[in-house]
Amino acid sequence: MITSPEWSGSEHGGRRYSPFTINTERLKPWHTLTGRQHFYLDHDWIAELGEELPIFRPPLDMHKLFGEPRLGAKGELELTVRYLTPHSKWSIHSEYQDNLIMLTLSRGGPTMWMSEKDAAKIGVTDNEWIEAVNRNGVVVCRAVVTHKMPEGTVYLYHAAERVIDVPKAETNGRRGGIHNSLTRLLIKPSHIIGGYAQLSFAFNYLGPTGNQRDEVTVIRRRSQEVQY
């Protein structure tokens, strides 16, 4: 496992891999300007962006800002939604998804979780094949239709391997992508603040947010006769 000031590196004796153990057990100061956990950020760039405290930022209008094509312009029965990629429900990243227990819990391939209301708008029922398309790529997966999801937002759990049940996309005839096929990292000014305590570069993310995990995509019901 990765040993760092933020994460433990010893899991023997049944102990889990845990964050901030050095800070809480050995009283090492947190890697912030105050040495404590805090939410307020007083950097000048952060203040100019109005982000000294956690706030909501909606997805960017890529057509208005950069002239990229509008989504959902082909006249098909489609729905434009916010596309999020939380960590995998059935594993840690890509590990253990193809053992018997995990296959019993999963649908045997990629799935997108969506609300009952959104599914009804495009004529999708639970476990049917759908396609999600945006300017970055395409994903083919099955729909998990559930009351647990809010209307207007879908989940495709993050970091599934392309080894189980990945058919060709109707959109381009290629193999149907993964969660990251629809995402792209955009740099904002706050991401390039350097040498300022916790706002410096850190492993895994450049900057304080995972903004590539907040995309917009179009979803539609596709032919249920898939090809591999």
Domains of the chain from N-terminus onward: 62-186+212-221 (2.40.40.20)
Q: Residue 52 has what DSSP assignment? A: S
Residue pair 162/188 in contact by the 8 Å Cβ criterion: no
At residue 188's C-alpha, the angle toward residues 187 and 189, to 5°, is: 125
* Contact in structure between 200 and 33 (CB atoms under 8 Å): no
- Kindly give the pairing relationship between strand 78-84 and strand 153-155: parallel
Q: What's the pLDDT at 1?
A: 47
pLDDT number for residue 4: 66
The type of residue at 169 is A
Give the pLDDT of residue 219. Answer: 93
- Residues 6 or more apart in contact with residue 178 via CB below 8 angstroms: 110, 139, 160, 162
The dihedral over CA atoms of 113, 118, 122, 123, expressed in degrees to the nearest 10, equals: 80
Quote the pLDDT of residue 71: 59
pLDDT the model gives residue 207: 45
Q: Please report the pLDDT score of residue 89 as a whole number.
A: 60
Q: What is the pLDDT along the chain (228 residues), one digit of tens a residue?
A: 456 667 776 667 777 777 788 888 889 888 888 888 888 888 899 999 999 998 888 888 877 887 776 655 555 688 989 999 887 766 655 555 666 776 676 777 888 999 999 999 999 999 999 999 988 899 999 999 999 999 999 999 877 767 778 899 998 899 888 888 898 877 778 877 878 877 766 555 544 466 667 788 999 999 999 999
Query: At 118, which helix (H) or strand (E)?
Result: helix 116-121
- What is the rounded end-to-end Cα distance, in angstroms, of the chain? 36
Q: Which of 72, 142, 146 is nearest to 115 (CA)?
A: 146
- How far apart CA 80 and CA 85 sit, in angstroms, is 16
Strand partners, 143: 112
What does the block give as tokens for 142?
A: 């099955």
CA distance linking residue 146 with residue 80, whole number of Å: 18
